[in-house]
Amino acid sequence: MRGLTRDQRGAIMVLGLFMALFATGCLVYLFKLGGAITEREHLQDAADAAAFSAAVLHARGMNVIALVNMTMAALLAVLIVLKLVEMAGYVGVTFATGLAFVTGGASLSAVPPLTQAAISAREAHDAAKPVVQTSLRVLRIAARGVRVVMPSVAQTRSVLAIADQDGPAAIATLVVPSRVTLPTRDGSYDELCTKAGDYVGALINVPFEGMSLPGFSIGEITGGLIDTGSAWFCEADAGGRPGTSVTRRIWHPILPKSRACEALGHHDADEAEHQRVCGQAEQETVAADEAIDPDTGHCVPAGGDACAPDGLYELRASLAQSACAPRERDDASLSKFTWQARSFTRRYVWDEGEWKVAEPIVSGTEQYDRRQSARRPCGPSGGIGREWSSVRRRDGELVPICSNVAPPSTPPIGSQHTVDLVHTEVLQMFRCFELRTERREIEGEGGGLAASEEEGQQMAPQLIAEGAELGEEDFQLRALAIGPGAGALEGVAFAQAEHYFDDAEATPADLLWRMGWTARLRRFREPGRQPAPAGTDDLADAALHQTGAAHTTFESACAALAPEHFPCAAIDLELFFKLAAH
């Protein structure tokens, strides 16, 4: 008996038994933890897949609408081209008749074929018109249908995307868009007509790439017939006549002989006289350029009287000072300024509580140079001075256009009572560049494609909704995935995606005229700005689909889709927003 109590064999087995139980518990815990993490990752993947697949469908819907818009504009462009051909035929007849006296009647032989071409174009236009009108109405209905149906299709696609995943990651998903329809609105027929005119202008411009007249682009002259005159081609009651918007490239100042040459081009002048005047204008321009020293901007007396008080140098500088001055309208059209600057150092001394000029120009610091800048050196946005003097000379002395001459703005620091400042004056303006858009109207009759405003609206395109901006709430989609877990934290996951236009330089007017829409996942954030206000057509579309308010919040979505005993009330949505965002 005593030996039995002293026997220590097997004592470690008791400790080993407890350690084995503890190790087993740890293994079970690690296994369960790993499973929970895996299930959580799968649930988050399900939410990401639902949000991204829905965003992809929204992007495809926007691309389909863009394709429909482009097709509508292309169909309308066909009618505009036919009207252009008709108009060109009649204009050609007018020119051929007017040239009869110059050509001895030879140009009259072109009248019959031009007249026949105009008649054929009109007949083709009248035959194609009802087909195009019907097509535009059908395409408008199709675009509106895509706009309304695509969010529902995206919701269905998100469910199928979850079904394609391995394992029961989520038992229910819901995609919550910011709008009940795609972020588009009904545009106007005028906007479609303008875009069709742009297509025609671009098409006409192709053969004339690289060809130009002095100061003009041939493509701009022909394609500009559509600009600001598209209503004339498309509306029966359009009052304005069509015209061409021409962008002229002008170097100011325009010297007297150059202006005379241009004026003769608008009148029936003798050709020899016209060539003579234009030749003199070219010589005058060359002489005026050669009179300016390329380094200092001073007048170069290279023979003649260019440097005389009334010579070309003085004339050019005076005209340039007026032509390149700031304007109340279209001031941004001026650029590429060339001017003469004078820089010098002025010495100031602090005396009796203010800065006084001790030496107006420090010896050896005065310098003249000819400068160029994209911005005007003087004026409201000038880099040297804010003023612009219109006075050329005073008491025979040249008056600077502007300058930055001013004493120091702060009192001296310490014992330094003398300061040297470098100042710059703009003495003369030599030239500047202007892009000037001019409109020239032509005679003709309207196309009459839309009989009334109501009918025209039935052929209108889809445009981006008012107030909708890329990256904002109107283009965001949030997804809720509910898993089989019993607890609130384990059973819910959120994700966010957006559809966007993949061109950072695109303007809002271009977003539905090109197929550049795509989708991407975004970091989840709590909904912020409200989407753009719904128009009457949005509300009507929502009523058609019976889109209830219960599907606009995560709380009601959980109650609608979760299992019967799922603890929806225990979910702290505010906490989930913060957790998902971080």
223-239 per-position pLDDT tens digit: 455 544 555 666 555 55
Write out the two tokens for 123.
């007949």
For residue 306, the surrounding DSSP H or E stretch is: none
Q: 253 preceded by cis ω (within 30°)? A: yes
Write out the two tokens for 571.
């979910």
> At 324, is the secondary structure helix, strand, or coil?
coil
Backbone torsion region of residue 126, taken as left when φ is above 0, otherwise alpha when ψ lies between -120 and 50, otherwise beta: alpha
Q: Which residues contact 391 (CB under 8 A, 6 or more apart)?
A: 399
For residue 190, the tally of other CB atoms under 10 A from its CB is 17
**C-alpha to C-alpha distance for 332 and 60, rounded to whole angstroms:** 40
Write out the two tokens for 303.
């023979």
Residue 532 has pLDDT above 50, yes or no: no
Signed CA dihedral, 468, 473, 474, 475: sign only? positive
Tell me the per-residue pLDDT of 257-316, one tens digit each, with 9 for 90 and over.
887 876 765 454 565 676 777 778 788 888 888 889 989 999 988 667 888 888 889 999
Beta bridge partners of 501: 517
Confidence of residue 129 (pLDDT cuts 50, 70, 90): confident
Contact 232, 299 (CB under 8 A): no
Contact 437, 246 (CB under 8 A): yes
Report the percentage of the chain scoring pLDDT > 90. 12
Token look-up 């927003």 returns 577
Confidence of residue 344 (pLDDT cuts 50, 70, 90): very high
Higher pLDDT, 192 or 99: 192
What end-to-end distance do the CA atoms of the chain give, in Å?
69
Contact 464, 532 (CB under 8 A): no
Write down the pLDDT at residue 179.
82
Please state the rounded mean pLDDT for residues 503-522: 86
**C-alpha to C-alpha distance for 159 and 170, rounded to whole angstroms:** 10
Residue 541 has pLDDT above 70, yes or no: no
Write out the two tokens for 366.
């005065």
Tell me the per-residue pLDDT of 544-581, one tens digit each, with 9 for 90 and over.
333 333 333 445 545 544 445 555 555 554 544 444 43
Exposure pattern of 495-520 as b/e (b: 16+ CB <10 Å)?
bbbbbbbeeeeeeeeebbbbbbbbbe
Residue 64 has pLDDT above 50, yes or no: yes
DSSP class of residue 452 equals S
**C-alpha to C-alpha distance for 11 and 21, rounded to whole angstroms:** 16
Write down the pLDDT at residue 71.
92
Write down the pLDDT at residue 245.
57
Determine the angle formed by the axes of helices 271-290 and 256-264, rounding to 10 degrees: 150
Lowest-confidence region among 6-10, 59-63, 162-166: 162-166
Token look-up 């197929």 returns 515
**C-alpha to C-alpha distance for 194 and 202, rounded to whole angstroms:** 12
Confidence of residue 451 (pLDDT cuts 50, 70, 90): low
Torsion on CA atoms 122, 123, 127, 128, rounded to nearest 10: -40
Q: Please choose, from the candidates 168, 169, 163, 190, the residue with its C-alpha nearest in 3D space to the C-alpha of residue 73.
A: 190
**C-alpha to C-alpha distance for 532 and 263, rounded to whole angstroms:** 53
Write down the pLDDT at residue 548.
37
For residue 480, the surrounding DSSP H or E stretch is: strand 476-482
Contact 151, 177 (CB under 8 A): yes
Q: What is the mean pLDDT of the chain?
A: 74
Report the percentage of the chain scoring pLDDT > 70. 67
Q: Please choose, from the candidates 217, 230, 197, the residue with its C-alpha nearest in 3D space to the C-alpha of residue 435.
A: 217
Residue 18 has pLDDT above 70, yes or no: yes
